[in-house]
């Protein structure tokens, strides 16, 4: 990769890891619940880890050589929110590793938790003391820094860190409600978001879907609140998937990876609902979502590598 392309290498590339890791976890959950051979989930995890290492290596070069470009991303009201995608990637990889390498998973989980906490504090500090943010700057990508905390209990409870898990779950759930309200206000009463950011609407699915999984991990049972979280996520999924024709007409950009992780989270949540209730409807929905997210990630990988080959990514913004 040329030096100019490294300088323009966006931190949002790490949303690719979130989607790939989510798919690996979805297939691992299918192995546990639907008794599918685990080979595919292991292969997906290996591929995800390899891509993560490559992205970390490239972005590290950018940090060392082009600090001004990194600083510009850190002060951009939209790009800023993608930095926690790095720590979320570590958390997701730790979740995927937990059944096969628990000690390594714990190391990655601890690293991800510490890094994500620091990034949450940094981003919220910027939000509080900003001088240039306006309502049109907000979009569902703002969920990533704060609501990403909801991921912590999924592996944390299995590793024995219950109070830490409740701490992060509380942060994520409370600020999900706050940000969800602001984003809906922005969508309803202000001009539409730029086309490039419209795929981030799928991120609306992730907080209740992941929140459901974390809540079950923390309480060990399904109750009314768990059902509220799951069905809220299901409604948002139906609302957005039924508009697939609209989203398909958008020009491809890295923001399309926003389709992937939320759909993966919905897939995992649906498989968990089948495990908890035994209802056949969730069984068929789980298979349907699993097929959908697999096709989506494959499509996004092909589009991304094609865009890289045609130099449509990692170029100066217009």
8 phi and psi angles, rounded to 5 deg: -100, 15
Q: Are 169 and 208 in contact (CB under 8 A)?
A: no
- The model's pTM: 0.94
Q: What is the pLDDT of residues 91-133, one digit of tens each?
A: 999 999 999 999 999 999 999 999 999 999 999 998 888 777 7
Q: Given CATH 3.40.640.10, say whether it is the number of domain 3-309.
A: no
Q: For each successive 10 residues of the chain (318 residues), what is the average pLDDT?
A: 77 94 96 88 96 96 92 89 95 96 96 96 89 84 91 96 97 95 92 90 96 96 95 97 91 92 97 95 96 96 91 74
264, containing H or E segment: helix 260-277
Q: Are 45 and 52 in contact (CB under 8 A)?
A: no
Q: What is the pLDDT of residues 204-234, one digit of tens each?
A: 999 999 999 999 999 998 999 999 999 999 9
């Amino acid at each position: 990769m040329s030096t100019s392309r490294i300088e323009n290498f966006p931190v949002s590339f790490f949303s690719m890891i979130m989607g790939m890791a989510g798919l690996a976890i979805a297939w691992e959950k299918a192995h546990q619940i639907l008794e599918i051979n685990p080979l595919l989930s292991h292969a997906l995890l290996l591929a995800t880890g390899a891509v993560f290492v490559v992205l970390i290596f490239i972005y590290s070069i950018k940090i060392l050589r082009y600090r001004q470009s990194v600083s510009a991303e850190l002060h951009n009201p939209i790009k800023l929110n993608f930095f926690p995608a790095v720590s979320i990637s570590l958390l997701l990889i730790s979740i995927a590793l937990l059944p096969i390498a628990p000690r390594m998973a714990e190391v990655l989980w601890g690293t991800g938790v510490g890094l994500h906490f620091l990034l949450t504090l940094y981003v919220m500090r910027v939000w509080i003391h900003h001088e240039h943010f306006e309502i049109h700057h907000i979009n569902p990508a703002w969920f990533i820094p704060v609501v990403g905390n909801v991921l912590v209990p999924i592996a944390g409870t299995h590793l024995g860190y219950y109070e830490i898990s409740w701490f992060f779950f509380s942060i994520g759930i409370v600020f999900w409600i706050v940000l969800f309200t602001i984003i809906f206000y922005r969508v309803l009463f202000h001009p539409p978001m730029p086309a490039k950011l419209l795929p981030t609407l799928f991120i609306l699915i992730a907080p209740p879907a992941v929140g459901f999984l974390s809540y079950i991990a923390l309480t060990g049972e399904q109750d009314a609140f768990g059902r509220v979280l799951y069905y809220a996520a299901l409604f948002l999924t139906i609302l957005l998937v039924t508009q697939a024709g609209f989203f398909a007409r958008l020009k491809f950009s890295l923001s399309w990876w926003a389709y992937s992780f939320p759909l993966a989270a919905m897939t995992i949540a649906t498989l968990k609902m089948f495990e908890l209730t035994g209802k056949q409807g969730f069984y068929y929905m789980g298979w349907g979502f699993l097929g959908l997210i697999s096709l989506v990630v494959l499509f996004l990988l092909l589009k991304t590598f094609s865009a890289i080959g045609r130099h449509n990514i990692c170029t100066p913004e217009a």
